[in-house]
């Protein structure tokens, strides 16, 4: 359910975005879209789709070159490769118009080098002998990665689909379904997906990449989204009963329940 806009919404009731988040967002927007100026030959969506959709081929290529047909490599290929295909299906079914912005050569190159490309560090560590000889991931770790990945994929696809359908009927707060107790289930899903890949890598470097992306890209975006949502009627009550990235626990009769 989306609570529609109303003339009663007051500008002074909006949440303020922290200055640091606004500054980081402006800097990231400039670097990813306008760096160097000049022609804008590609859409940001094209770069994202190439990286995500091409990940399966990239991982399979690593496996062929390195001759690595281990359970860990196959599991990584199945998980990350499938996510790339699901992302392309999502783009075809309910595309996000924000990614249709056109970017400069410099902006596109920096986006690839600073955000999209580093996501491929995890499969390099999983498949190649870069870290030297080491045993494959334990069965329990494979199971954990599969479980985390499955939950993340379901959250991301279902919440983005719900959001697309709700906003097609008009702007407003989405307060039911996956958004009933959680304000950003699509971001949580994306984070779980990449956490699964970092688990399979069994190294700190993929986690460093995720800290970089989550802290300097995701968090400012989320705070700006929150400020934008706060203009809608019912925001204060909705925010009070929901969690930012994890469901808020409610105490009822001495028992904590989501």
- Residue pLDDT, tens place only, 145-164: 999 999 999 999 999 999 99
What average pLDDT score do residues 202-227 get?
Answer: 95
- State the pLDDT at residue 98: 87
What is the CATH code for 14-244?
1.20.120
Q: pLDDT tier at 5 (50, 70, 90 boundaries)?
A: very low
Q: What mean pLDDT, rounded, does the chain reach? A: 90
What average pLDDT score do residues 12-40 get?
Answer: 88
12: pLDDT strictly greater than 80: no
Question: Could you give the percent of the chain with pLDDT greater than 90?
Answer: 83
Other beta carbons within 10 Å of 94 = 16
> Residue 90: which residues within 8 A CB-CB, separation 6 or more?
157, 160, 161
pTM of the model: 0.89
Q: pLDDT tier at 14 (50, 70, 90 boundaries)?
A: low
Q: pLDDT tier at 96 (50, 70, 90 boundaries)?
A: confident
Q: pLDDT tier at 251 (50, 70, 90 boundaries)?
A: low
- Across the chain, which distance is largest between two alpha carbons, in Å? 65
| 100 neighbors 45 (Cβ within 8 angstroms) | yes
- In the chain, where are the structural domains located? 14-244
């Amino acid at each position: 359910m989306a609570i529609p806009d109303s003339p009663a919404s007051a500008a002074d009731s909006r949440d303020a975005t922290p200055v640091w988040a606004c500054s980081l967002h402006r800097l990231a927007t400039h670097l990813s879209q306008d760096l160097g100026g000049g022609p804008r030959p590609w859409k940001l969506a094209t770069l994202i789709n190439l990286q995500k959709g091409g990940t399966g081929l990239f991982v399979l290529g690593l496996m062929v070159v390195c001759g690595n047909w281990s359970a860990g490599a196959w599991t990584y290929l199945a998980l990350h490769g499938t996510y790339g295909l699901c992302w392309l299906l999502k783009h075809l079914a309910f595309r996000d118009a924000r990614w249709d912005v056109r970017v400069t050569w410099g902006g596109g190159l920096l986006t690839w080098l600073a955000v999209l490309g580093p996501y491929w560090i995890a499969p390099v560590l999983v498949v190649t002998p870069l870290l030297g000889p080491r045993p494959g991931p334990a069965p329990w770790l494979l199971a954990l990665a599969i479980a985390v990945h499955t939950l993340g994929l379901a959250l991301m696809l279902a919440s983005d689909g719900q959001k697309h359908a709700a906003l097609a009927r008009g702007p407003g707060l989405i307060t039911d379904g996956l958004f009933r107790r959680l304000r950003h289930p699509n971001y949580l899903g994306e984070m779980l997906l990449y956490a699964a890949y970092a688990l399979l890598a069994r190294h700190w470097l993929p986690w460093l990449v995720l800290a970089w992306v989550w802290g300097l890209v995701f968090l400012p975006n989320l705070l700006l989204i929150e400020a934008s949502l706060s203009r809608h009627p019912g925001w204060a009550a909705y925010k009070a009963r929901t969690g930012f990235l994890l469901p808020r626990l409610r105490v009822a009769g001495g028992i904590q329940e989501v």
